[in-house]
A and B are shown apart, each in its own frame.
Chain A
Amino acid sequence: MRMKLNVWRQNGRDAKGAFQKYDCPDVSEHMSFLEMLDVLNERIESEGQDPIAFEHDCREGICGSCGFMINGAAHGPQPRTTVCQLHMRSFKDGDELWLEPWRAKAFPVVRDLVVDRTAFDRIVQAGGYISTNTGSAPEANAAPIRKDSADKSFDAAACIGCGACVAMCPNASASLFTAAKLAHLNLLPQGQPERLIRSEKMVVQMDVEGFGHCTNHSDCEAVCPKGISVTNIAMMNLGYVQATLLSSPREGSTDD
């Protein structure tokens, strides 16, 4: 099949970018989207030009490295699918596609389709951990956990940090990611001691990084390759309110 691509090319963080057209005449429908770009890159390189930069690692849909916009949808048209797991059979012969990097102030473009997502790392560093000296691993069933909590926590823990939620959100909000990381720990007994301070710190960090706020559009949930639910965001809001307004003395804060 033949594909017409318009790819965002940008030489560096502060460079001005623009779309460049590429014609891909012999694409196999069995190729993944990234394989199509690999083939295109070989051709570009053989012509002595810089290949299109895009991020990838596992190519199995589990690491969260890959991702860009395809025709205005994060990770492309297939629900619950990362771009590395998207296959060309999802498109029609002759389709024209527009490839753009995630766009958010907190995700500056590094080059072409690659953005810097270390803002996510700093949100996790702000509170996405538990502080305990665990010693050797405890017996697996020693701490009883309600089935529905375990299920919800497990669902939230499936977040791979790809950033599609931010990219798709009309407000460039990182609420879905942050809420997933919060829910994953806040629903488990191990996460209880630091639940409130974690809720407060991660929300604050999300703001510090310059992400927008959530207006409950749910575009994030629709493109999330792991199907993270927006109900986690409601839990995050509640956790933040409990942490800042309702808990006294305010645990872990400096003014008590």
Chain B
Amino acid sequence: MNFLLSFWRSTVGTKVVVAVTGLMLLGFTLFHMIGNLQVFTGAEDMNAYGAFLHKPEVLWAGRCVVATSMILHITGTVRLVRASADARPQGYAKWKAQASTFYSRTMKFSGPIVLIYFVVHLLNLTTGAEPGHIALHPNYLQTDGVPKAFENLTLLLATPPWATFYIVANLALGLHLFHGAYSLAKTLGLSGARQLRLARVLASVLTATIVGGNIAITLACLLRLV
């Protein structure tokens, strides 16, 4: 146990935890986007898929993994952001980026935006089926605690303000995912030139797939193509 604590206390250890949980959350986002593509195959498929995810075993296993990952990812990041701020109490009058990028330097801002996106998304489409029945939604439908995934999604995203919110939120997610996916490969020790090139390609492809898929779903609902 002792060595786990000191691992977590070191900046490299915390980074590794942030990277591993980031990888899990990346997997979750990808899986979630692919599942939602069923909006294109029709209400029946999507609602059956929704009902499957609502089996208690599946639901709670999924929730536990995602919640644990998020808690570790966020507490780790907060620790690291603090450590960085402490490490340079007095900033520069002039500082010019040499290799860092807009998305690498805005991780600490895109992260909270993604968190807000996550919370709002839950309020939009998940909490309506929970005991409190709170839903930020024009007309939330559910039967016996199982939400009508297709109707709820298409109705929500057909409203322009919500569609706009989802598109903007996904762009922030893209900024976060791209640097995150490439960076976690390095944090987890990939150092060969070929490995890193592959990691960069994979990070771009994954980011484009997830963000592109989510935005395609949003636009399809907004334009009432589904």
Contact surface of A with B, Cβ cutoff 8 Å: 19, 69, 71-73, 98, 100, 103-106, 168, 170-173, 203-204, 206-207, 210-219, 221-223, 230-238, 240-241, 244-245, 250, 253, 255
Contact = CB atoms under 8 A, between A and B. Distances in A.
Indicate the member of A98, A234, A235 with the most B CB atoms within 10 Å: A234
Contact of B84 (A100, A171, A204, A207): A171
B2 to A, nearest CB: 6
A216 B87 contact: no
B117 interface: no
Given A212-B87, A215-B107, A219-B97, A231 B3 contact: no
A216 B91 contact: no
B10 A203 contact: yes
A242 B99 CA distance: 29
A71 B94 contact: yes
Interface in B148-205: 179, 182-183, 186-193, 196
B94 A238 contact: no
Contact of B98 (A104, A168, A213, A244): A168
A244 B104 contact: no
B226 to A, nearest CB: 39
Contacts of A216: 104, 179, 182-183, 186-187
A107 to B, nearest CB: 10
Nearest to B15: A213
Nearest to A204: B10
B7 interface: yes
B16 interface: yes
B11 A207 contact: yes
Contacts, number: 140
Contacts of A241: 12, 16, 189
Contacts of B14: 213
A213 B186 contact: no
A212 B91 CA distance: 14
Contacts of A245: 3, 7
Contacts of B91: 103
A37 B24 CA distance: 53
9 contacts: A106-B87, A170-B84, A206-B11, A212-B11, A214-B15, A215-B104, A216-B182, A218-B99, A255-B3
Instruction: Say what secondary structure dominates the interface of chain A.
Output: mixed
Interface in B1-32: 2-3, 6-7, 9-16
Name the interface size band of chain B. Answer: 35 or more
A236 B188 CA distance: 10
B92 A103 contact: yes
B92 A69 contact: yes
B83 interface: yes
B204 to A, nearest CB: 15
A180 B8 CA distance: 23
B98 A219 contact: yes
B144 interface: no
Contacts of B188: 234, 237-238
Contacts of A232: 191
A171 B87 contact: yes
Contacts of B3: 244-245, 250, 253, 255
Contact of A203 (B12, B105, B107, B190): B12
Nearest to A203: B12
Contact of A104 (B10, B15, B87, B105): B87
A17 B72 CA distance: 40
Given A105-B88, A214-B15, A244-B7, 5 more contacts: A105-B87, A168-B98, A213-B12, A221-B99, A255-B2
Contacts of B139: none
B90 to A, nearest CB: 6
Contacts of A221: 99
A253 B2 CA distance: 11
A172 B96 contact: no
A105 B6 contact: no
A68 to B, nearest CB: 11
Indicate the member of B7, B94, B96, B98 with the most A CB atoms within 10 Å: B98
